[in-house]
Structure 1
């Protein structure tokens, strides 16, 4: 169980030593209750899209603004944006909060960071929510995502001809080198991250417009992510949460995590894509709240 020690609300910036450099790390605090540290996806997606107002009524949500994004610092060499970097800065935030342990929630690429953090710092993780993520990347992971995107394009191109360019947007064949261009590409292909964007465009457009992409982190170097053999070592109570129509980090990958992490729970949100907290907020909040109740964090 995490502590209810008060964490100051608002936006905060800390200075983190990284090699011979000192880099600013920004984070944002909202809500009340036990502390949950949240890492967004990407690499390179701004934190704003992951705001979870329903959970803020039950938890103190600490949203990390990853290095290379927003007002956080930048690396001199963009090749340095790798999993070790993000894990290091996540730990700096947890250490700065000065709590014995916290809940950690990671979405998509942020789920890679959360898995690595739970393995490297098990004593600091009270509970873990792995949201629309995977234990592995590599050739099979990406080819599956591309196949799913191609199917999505074929399904919708008659009514929405612009989806013909979605595969190129996903694979980086149209990737720009500046933040504005990267954001435009992400927002353009964003409907594929929903189960039914076109049927609820008026509701989801705000979430689409909250997406912001920063170009430099995409140039990071490092091996393909793969913690499958390590996952049985995770000791924190774990919820694996996934949308049933998530084209990129879908049920196949969620089940791999669930089957490997001892005692983990699996929650599949029906008729939901990669952004369940936006598309199915009621289902999303209910799943997280039920999990937290079982581990003594909050009451349902």
Structure 2
């Protein structure tokens, strides 16, 4: 049940899904687009996109295990299919005939899973800085890119410390340590954090992480052999300097799906909605407008 009469009224909402409270936040006007943040375990607020809210009604999902959403009994319960199930509960609750779905990073895994599990439900799919697979090759490439970060920023002691901080963050066991760790390594997620430090520093200090969703012992994500089953119009966005979900993985998504377009943000890392907000928003506005007319 919902704790608000209008599920799309601006503001914060809660709905009970299988006995667990799922929070979401509504902002903006226009066609409805659900937004699933990454992590797992990172607070939804980092993905706030004011430029898009002028054109779309954004429904920001506050993933279970984070913020004021409910907690699951065991860390291993936080799986991609679980997030997709809660996402479907929100879609059912909203009761609108056409919705778009935007997934960022790990949220992109959830979005792919949702599109495969619920064909015909979505008007369009936006896969933002994500990949159709993880596994050994994926992580080896990400760690290799991170280890080369000090070469890209010589003379920056903070850059030199990030590769080790990344490994320490993965081993953190409490929310506070995870949050401190992510803030320490966050510059790696930008094309050039230090060139815009005064602009990006408040964002960095506001990021929060919850440890339980990060602890799921889940097999590698891999839907490469099923991408052709996604018939939903799809927009794939990649940042040229993204160390973890770079253009290689975005192009793999684009080439594997039958109705997709690919946009490369040349001056972005993993945070194109902050680094290049105008180009990022323009790509999505054009896509949702055209997909809406087709639908």
TM normalised by structure 2 equals 0.94
| CA distance in structure 1 between the partners assigned to 2:213 and 2:129 by the alignment | 20
Match of 2:135 in 1: 138
Distance 1:61 1:206, change over 3 A: same
| CA distance in structure 2 between the partners assigned to 1:241 and 1:171 by the alignment | 27
| CA distance in structure 1 between the partners assigned to 2:75 and 2:7 by the alignment | 36
Moved over 6 A (4+): none
Match of 1:16 in 2: 17
Q: Out of 160, 164, 185, which is 1:164 matched to? A: 160
Match of 1:46 in 2: 43
- SS of the counterpart of 1:163? helix
Distance 1:154 1:84, change over 3 A: same
Q: What do the CA deviations read for 1:263-292 (whole angstroms, capped 9, x no partner)?
A: 200000111110000111011111111212
The count of aligned residue pairs is: 289
Match of 1:259 in 2: 255
Alignment of 1:266-281 (within 5 A): 266-281=262-277
CA contact (8 A) 2:7 2:13 kept: no
Q: Out of 109, 116, 128, which is 1:112 matched to? A: 109
Match of 2:8 in 1: 7
Match of 1:190 in 2: 186
Alignment of 1:121-270 (within 5 A): 121-156=118-153, 158-172=154-168, 175-270=171-266
Q: What do the CA deviations read for 1:161-220 (whole angstroms, capped 9, x no partner)?
A: 132332233334663211111111101111110111101111111222232111111111
CA contact (8 A) 1:138 1:225 kept: yes
Q: What do the CA deviations read for 1:54-88 (whole angstroms, capped 9, x no partner)?
A: 00000000000000100001112112111111111
CA contact (8 A) 1:207 1:278 kept: no
| CA distance in structure 1 between the partners assigned to 2:269 and 2:248 by the alignment | 14
| CA distance in structure 2 between the partners assigned to 1:85 and 1:171 by the alignment | 26
- SS of the counterpart of 2:113? helix
CA contact (8 A) 2:26 2:57 kept: yes
| CA distance in structure 2 between the partners assigned to 1:173 and 1:123 by the alignment | 39
| CA distance in structure 2 between the partners assigned to 1:174 and 1:37 by the alignment | 28
Distance 1:174 1:255, change over 3 A: closer
| CA distance in structure 1 between the partners assigned to 2:223 and 2:168 by the alignment | 25
* RMSD across aligned positions (CA): 1.6
Flag structure 2 segments of 5+ consecutive residues without an equivalent: 1-5
Distance 1:202 1:258, change over 3 A: same
TM normalised by structure 1 equals 0.93
1:25 equivalenced with 2:22 (yes/no) = yes
Deviation at 1:89, TM superposition (A): 0.6
Deviation at 1:293, TM superposition (A): 2.6
1:86 equivalenced with 2:83 (yes/no) = yes
- SS of the counterpart of 1:295? helix
Deviation at 1:6, TM superposition (A): 8.2
